[in-house]
Each structure stands twice: as C-alpha cells, then as structure tokens.
C-alpha cells in the first residue's frame, strides 16, 4: 500500500509512476479526493461526538423538570453521531479500496512493458558446441534424473520427479545457497507453505496474481508461490528492532503456482511447473537503507550464479512488468543453449514500504517514533536453475559436467547416461 503522505506531498510523482506502469494516473486524483472526504468525515464525526459529550454533561446538571426535553434532544444527537460514524466508516473503506488499487511508486525502473527492460550487464561466456545441443529434458531423461512421464501420471501436466543425481543436484544447489546466505548474515528458515488470506493480500499477490495461486476453499488458506509471502508475514503487526541493522531471513520451501494463462508455453521440461523448491532471501530494513540492501541481494545472486557456472545477464525490469509491490526489480537471466536465448532464473525486488504498510510492520527511529519498515526479496536458488546447469554443462556424449561447487553433494564430477 502506498504512503498517503507521499501522495499528498507529490501527487505528480505518483501519476508519473502510474503512467510508466501503463496504469491509470486518474486513480491518484480519486485517491486524493477520497482522502479529503475521509478527513472531512472524521472531523464531522469528532465534532458531533464532542457535542454529544457536552450535551450529556448538560443533562446531568439540568433540573429534573427540564431533563425529558433534553433527553429527546440527546436521542436526536445520538442518531446524528451514528450517521456520521457510518459516513466515516464508508469514507475509510473507499479510501482503502483506492489505496489498494494503486501499485507501488517506481524508483528508477525504466518505463514501458515486458520488452522495455534495460540490460545492465552480461556475465560469463556463452558456450559454443561442436555437436547438436540437447535440451535439459532430453539430457535429464537420458541421465535418469528427470521423469516427467511418471510425474504427469501421478500429478498431471507440469509435474515431475527428480531422481537420484537429479535430486542431489537440486539439494546441493539449495544447500550451497543456504550456506552462502548464512555466511552473509541471513537466518535460514523453513516457513509455512500455507498462509492466511490477510498475509497473501498483504504481500500484494492477490492484487494481480490471484489466478496463479492455489486456494484451499475448505480451509480458507493459500499455498505460497514463494516463501517471500510467509517471511513477509513473519513480523505482521509487530514493531521490529532495526537498531543493529536489517533483519535478514532466507526461506527454504516448496512453492506452488497454477501457471494460469500459460497453456502451450514452456510445456516441455521443468522451466514452468506447478511445484518447485526455492531458497528466497528476505530483508527488513529502514527505508533509507533499501537501495543499498537491493544491491546486496543482487550481489549474492551474482555470487551464486557464478558458483553454478552458467552465463547470464542482469536486466532492469520495466515498470509495466513489475509486480504491484515492487518499486524496482532486477532479473538475472541465464543463457539456455537449446533455445538460443536468455531465460529468467532469479530476481530481486525492492518493495520499499508497500508490503510492510499493509502488514503493519514497523520499527522505532532514533527519536523513538514508529515508522514503516521497508522489505526486499531475492531468489538465491530454485529448481529451474537445473535447466541452465544441465544445458550449459553438457558434453558431446550426452554426459553433463557437474559444477565444482555442487560436487560435494552430488558426489560426482560428471553425470553419465
């Protein structure tokens, strides 16, 4: 949820953010009008409550013969107070609805849609092969480490088994990520994968991604598509201590996505699936420290991608392709040889105070006043990384070289058919 004070002070900046996202700038003016209406309703209700209180004292001091008439007037005033409080509640509801409808104010993101990203950097050499390149599924099936047929038999389309060395490859990758996170000061967490509606709403995922989320109607619970959700809810309705620096968490969990609207897209292999594992970094910090923290998360992603030995690029995601919570997002995209292009492996987002304001997560500043915290997130490893690892490290005989950093867990230097 955006900061109303910021909207009042600089509405044009919010309008410009809306334009950059391809969204309606007129919502900003509607929000300002609703804010003014709410403040007027509060003032009116406060004045009537004050009048009612004074009138009550007058009745208590009146002569017995005068009280019946005064009581009649008191009932009329009571009805007016009730009506004013109803108007106040309606004005507050309208304001919150509009406030929830406006996405976070962008901070440095380029304007435009999905294709308007800006490439920041290319890292690593794109491999050249003197043999016919296989895709990750053909490699995985020949190696006996990915079984899509039986995954489909058991769970339906977009489900799979990781078997033997495939399981160890993923576990090694996630363990390496967890180790790097711990060394960087993150507390490793295994969070819930089912969350309440208010937590899912608080992170912004119900605003535009509700079709992507598995909902358990009988229990009124949601399966998370990222442990960001559970980590954002960790300090809901709390005043956290940031006096010694940011609070840093790394959540390891299974994640679930319906992939609604993606029918016919990336149906082969494990690039776009319904269930996967992920190690997600999450940070709470003071708003003035958020930009520096964003670079720290990106730096850790760089380090991890370097360790698994895949070439990649970093892009500054355009405003129209940001989620509603993010003010800025960097994606890291690995080269996928079978497709001859870069595909997203990981991202890191600065959500400023947007999520914490919804979830009422605050901290005390140097003067002891409560302020809204900033939140950031970034993926340090996830199942789809196996796509890039397998394809970029394949060899002519169908074998795959295991990145050196993962060998202690996999127990092999090369996976052979």
Annotated binding residues: 226-228, 257-259, 273-276, 280, 344-347, 377, 379
In the annotation, is 344 catalytic? Answer: yes
The catalytic position among 19, 196, 272, 407 is: 272
CA 230 – CA 246 distance, rounded (Å): 18
Compute the distance between CA of residue 176 and CA of residue 20 in angstroms, rounded to an integer: 38
- Give yes or no: 313 in active site: no
Give the C-alpha separation, 271 to 267, whole Å. Answer: 8
- The span from the CA of 296 to the CA of 377, in Å, is 11
Catalytic residue selected from 257, 328, 357, 358: 257
Q: Phi/psi zone of residue 202: left (φ > 0), alpha (ψ -120 to 50 degrees), beta?
A: alpha
- Whether residue 272 lies in the annotated active site: yes
Residues flagged as binding site for L-serine: 226-228, 257, 280, 377, 379
- Give yes or no: 158 in active site: no
Q: Catalytic site residue 407?
A: no
The binding site for ATP consists of 257-259, 273-276, 344-347
- Active-site entry in 80, 302, 344, 401: 344
Three-state SS for the chain is: CCCHHHHHHCHHHHHHHHHHHCCCCHHHHHHHHHHHHHHHHHHHHHHHHHHHHHHHHHHHHCCHHHHHHHHHHHHHHHHHHHHHHHHHHHHHHHHHHHHHHCCCCCCCCCCCCCCCCEEEEEECCCCCCCCCCCCHHHHHHHHCCEEHHHHHHHHCCCCCEECCHHHHHHHHHHHHHHHHHHHCCCEEECCCCEECHHHHHHHCHHHHCHHHCCEECCCCEEECCCCHHHHHHCCCCCEECCCCCCEEEEEEEEEECCCCCCCCCCCCCCCCCCEEEEEEEEEEECHHHHHHHHHHHHHHHHHHHHHCCCCEEEEECCHHHCCCCCCEEEEEEEEECCCCEEEEEEEEEECCCHHHHHHCCEEECCCCCEEECEEEEEEEEECCHHHHHHHHCECCCCCEECCHHHHHHHCCCEECC
Residues tagged active-site: 257, 272, 344, 347, 384
């Amino acid at each position: 949820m955006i900061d109303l004070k910021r909207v009042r002070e600089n509405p044009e900046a919010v309008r410009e953010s809306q334009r950059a996202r391809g969204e309606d700038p007129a919502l900003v003016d509607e929000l300002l009008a609703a804010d003014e209406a709410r403040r007027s309703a509060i003032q009116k209700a406060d004045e009537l409550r004050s009048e009612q209180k004074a009138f009550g004292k007058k009745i208590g001091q009146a002569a017995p013969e005068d009280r019946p008439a005064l009581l009649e007037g008191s009932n009329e005033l009571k009805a007016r107070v009730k009506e004013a409080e109803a108007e106040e509640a309606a004005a507050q509801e309208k304001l919150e609805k509009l406030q929830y409808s406006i996405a976070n104010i962008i901070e440095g993101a380029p304007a435009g849609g999905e294709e308007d990203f800006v490439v920041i950097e290319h890292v690593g050499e794109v491999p050249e092969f003197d043999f016919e390149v296989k895709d990750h599924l053909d490699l995985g099936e020949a190696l006996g480490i990915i079984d899509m047929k039986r995954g489909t038999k058991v769970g339906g389309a977009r489900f799979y088994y990781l078997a033997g060395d495939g399981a160890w490859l993923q576990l090694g990758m996630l363990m390496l990520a967890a180790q790097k996170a711990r060394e960087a000061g993150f507390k490793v967490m295994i969070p819930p994968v089912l969350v309440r509606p208010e937590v899912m709403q608080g992170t912004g995922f119900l605003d535009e991604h509700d079709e992507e989320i598995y909902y358990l109607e009988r229990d009124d619970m949601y399966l998370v598509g990222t442990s960001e959700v559970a980590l954002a809810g960790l300090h809901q309705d709390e005043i956290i201590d940031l006096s010694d620096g940011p609070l840093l968490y790394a959540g390891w969990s299974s994640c679930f996505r319906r992939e609604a609207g993606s029918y016919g897209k990336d149906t082969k292999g494990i690039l776009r699936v319904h269930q996967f594992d992920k190690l997600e970094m999450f940070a709470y910090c003071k708003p003035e420290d958020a930009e520096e923290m964003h670079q720290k998360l990106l730096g850790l992603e760089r380090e991890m991608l370097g360790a698994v030995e895949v070439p990649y690029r970093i892009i500054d995601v355009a405003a129209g392709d940001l989620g509603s919570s993010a003010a800025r997002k960097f994606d890291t995209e690995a080269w996928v040889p079978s497709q001859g292009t870069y595909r997203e492996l990981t991202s890191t987002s600065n959500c400023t105070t947007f999520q914490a304001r919804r979830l009422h997560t605050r901290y005390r500043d140097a003067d002891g006043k409560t302020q809204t915290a900033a939140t950031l997130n970034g993926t340090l490893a996830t199942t789809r990384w196996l796509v890039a690892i397998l394809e970029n490290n394949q060899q002519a005989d169908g074998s795959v070289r295991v990145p050196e950093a993962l060998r202690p867990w996999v127990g092999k230097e090369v996976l052979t058919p």
